[in-house]
Amino acid sequence: MKNTIWWVRRDLRLSDNQALYAAVQSGDQVTPVFIIDPRLTETQPLPQKRIDFLWGGLQALDKSLRARGSRLIVRRGDPLEELAHLVKESKASAVYAEEDFTPFARRRDRAIARELPLHLLPGLTMFFPDSVRKADGNPYTVFTPFSKAWHRTLQGNSRKLLSAPERMATPIEITSLPLPNPVGNVQFPPGEIEALHRLQNFTTGNHAPIYQYADQRDRPDLPGTSTLSPYLRFGMLSARQAVFAAEQAAQLAPDETARQGAQTWLNELIWREFFISILFHFPDVMKESFRPELRQISWRNNEVEFLAWKEGQTGYPIVDAAMRQLAKTGWMHNRARMIVASFLVKDLLINWRWGERWFMQMLVDGDPAANNGGWQWSAGTGTDAAPYFRIFNPVLQGKKFDPQGDYVRQWVPELANLPPKFIHNPWEMPHQPQIQFNVLLGVEYPFPIVDHTLARERTLEAYQHAKVAF
């Protein structure tokens, strides 16, 4: 009897799982294993909301496996040592896993492959990062040509998805640690079933939300996004499942506006692939700015202002609403992410890496590639980044994308009684309306910690000086 191991990492699903499929095809018995690596859970502890989402996802995976006659084996320790023990225990001929592309994962997997029969399969992305290149063989560093090449690659790709195995045999003698339990309330119900349910609800039917995505995706006051990022982060949904659903929605769109909505969402999935490709080819972006001429900016790095930003006490309502949403739920609307990133870097002149680290400490969907790419884009320091002189005005951003102030009222209850006229610029409100609406500036809600106009000039000068000095 031939045995194999399916090493579960960022692929907490049974459907369209190429690593699992290979393990099942190659073995009469398959041992699914998740290894709790202390380097990730203790040395660099994950945020509680993300770890709770992971534990919940593992429990959902175990339940699905048990329904098929299998079970999830949990081990704790160094992955190489634990896999070596498991290979010996199960007499496995091979270990199958979905390939990851972070610098840490690549170092780990290279070390394991030297000692064990490790086979890495696609799934985290639609295409392997090295497969979408320029004609001269160099990687793309600008999104638009990358996107065009990505689409060309997609044209010749099969649209077949892999079904979940109906039955799986796992050696009964293999021991397991108990599955950890979430300790808090999980904002996002974890698991593959929930991921597929959300994908279906977002992409199917003539009135599917995907068809309004182009118009509503920038509105944090509306439920216009898919909220699938945590599920893609942990592979409760495969990249192919998301891409094919977007394609099908575009093909079935009832009109041109709807088709544009589906294509816009697909474009966001391609951005995800682009940032993973950048991290794969340029791993140093995790340490420094992609653009060398902007590596020596004279940051202010005021810790008091950084704390105000983290706690949602900047005096700019749209920024504070977003930061409080992050603290409460472990998630933030994408437009809000851009607004708070621009504010931290270009209003407060605080190093983008401070914000990048804070997001990774807070986000349920915290993904190294997407998080780094988004922060460097906002800071103007990355590949294909927003120009460094593009600085969001937080008041205008709030008025444009939260026009009635509903998003602010939800997350900044001190301002709940304010009319739209003052909701995004309460400091302009005279004293009498402050009493009328029960919000005394400087008491119930802070004055702005920085003057946007003056801060903008300060930032432009700092960036320009760095470029000249390079």
CATH number at residue 58: 3.40.50.620
Q: Is residue 113 assigned to a domain? A: yes
Residue ending a domain, among 94, 124, 154, is 124
- Asked if residue 109 and residue 212 are part of one domain, the reply reads no
Same domain assignment for residues 343 and 423: yes
Q: Is the pLDDT of residue 184 over 90?
A: no
Query: Is residue 35 in a domain?
Result: yes
Q: In what order do the strands lie in the sheet with 118-121?
A: 73-76, 29-36, 3-8, 92-98, 118-121
Is residue 170 in some structural domain?
no
pLDDT band of 200, cuts 50, 70, 90: very high
Could you tell me which of 370, 372, 389, 388 has the C-alpha nearest to residue 380?
388
Average pLDDT, the chain: 96
* pLDDT value, residue 267: 98
Cα(211)–Cα(231) distance, integer angstroms: 21
Q: Active-site residues: which are they?
A: 268, 271, 299, 334, 352, 375
How far apart, in whole angstroms, are the C-alpha atoms of residue 144 and residue 125? 18
In a domain, 62, yes or no: yes
- Mean pLDDT for the stretch of residues 421-445: 94
| Residue 446 predicted with pLDDT over 70 | yes
Q: Are residues 310 and 264 in the same domain?
A: no
pLDDT class for 389, splitting at 50, 70, 90?
confident
- Among 281, 311, 338, the domain boundary falls at 281
User: How is residue 398 written in tokens?
Assistant: 């709030």
First to last CA, the chain: 64
Pairing of strands 73-76, 3-8: unpaired
Q: How confident is the model over 206-259, as pLDDT tens digits?
A: 999 999 999 999 999 999 999 999 999 999 999 999 999 999 999 999 999 999
Q: Are residues 305 and 385 in the same domain?
A: yes
Q: Same domain, yes or no, for 450 and 378?
A: yes
Residue 156 lies in a domain: no
The pLDDT assigned to 44 comes to: 67
Could you tell me the CA-to-CA distances from 195 to 191, 238, 312 in Å, in that order? 6, 10, 30
Rounded Cα–Cα distance for residues 318 and 341 (Å): 12
Do residues 456 and 352 both lie within one domain? yes
Question: How confident is residue 1, by pLDDT bands cut at 50, 70 and 90?
Answer: confident
Average pLDDT over residues 397-403: 98
Give me the pLDDT at residue 245, please.
98
- Asked whether residue 51 is assigned to any structural domain, the reply reads yes
Residues 10 and 114 in one domain: yes
**pLDDT over 70 at 393, yes or no:** yes
Question: What is the per-residue pLDDT across 90-144, written as a single tens digit (0 to 9) for each?
Answer: 999 999 999 999 999 999 999 999 999 999 999 999 999 999 999 999 999 999 9
* Residue 333 token pair: 């609307």
Does one domain contain both 301 and 448? yes
Q: pLDDT digit string (tens) for 4-48?
A: 999 999 999 999 999 999 999 999 999 999 999 998 877 567 889
Query: How much is the average pLDDT of 333-345?
Result: 98
The per-residue pLDDT for 43 is 59
Q: What tokens were used for 238?
A: 């495969």
382 or 387, which is more confident? 382
- The SS3 assignment for 29 reads strand
What is 139-175 written as a DSSP string? BP-SHHHHHHHHHHHHHTS----PPPPS-----TT--
Neighbouring residues of 201: CB distance < 8 A, sequence distance ≥ 6: 208, 209
Looking at the domain assignment, is residue 186 inside a domain? no
SS3 call for 322: helix
Q: At 269, which CATH number? A: 1.25.40.80
The percentage of residues in the chain with a pLDDT greater than 90, rounded to a whole number, is: 93
pLDDT, residue 185, reads 75
Identify whether residues 119 and 47 lie together within a single domain.
yes
pLDDT band at 73; cut points 50, 70, 90: very high
**Residue that has been written with the tokens 């409760």 in this structure:** 236
Torsion-angle region of 376 (φ positive above 0: left; ψ -120 to 50: alpha; else: beta): alpha
Residue 145 within any structural domain of the chain: no
Do residues 298 and 268 both lie within one domain?
A: no
Beta bridge partners of 35: 75
pLDDT in tens, 276-299: 999 999 999 999 999 999 999 999
Q: What is the pLDDT of residue 429?
A: 95
Whichever domain contains 419, its CATH number is 1.10.579.10
Burial class (CB in 10 A: 0-12, 13-18, 19+), 435: exposed
CB 386 within 8 Å of CB 377: yes
**Which of 281, 301, 330 finishes a domain?**
281
Q: How many domains does the chain have?
A: 3
Q: Are residues 392 and 464 in the same domain?
A: yes
Q: What is the pLDDT of residue 46?
A: 80
Q: Any idea which of 137-141, 416-420, 440-444, 456-460 has the lowest mean pLDDT?
A: 440-444
Do residues 255 and 300 both lie within one domain? no
Task: Quote the domain boundaries for residue 59.
Answer: 3-124
Q: How many CB atoms lie within 10 A of CB 341?
A: 23
In 3D space, the residue among 394, 290, 303, 277 whose CA is nearest the CA of residue 341 turns out to be 394
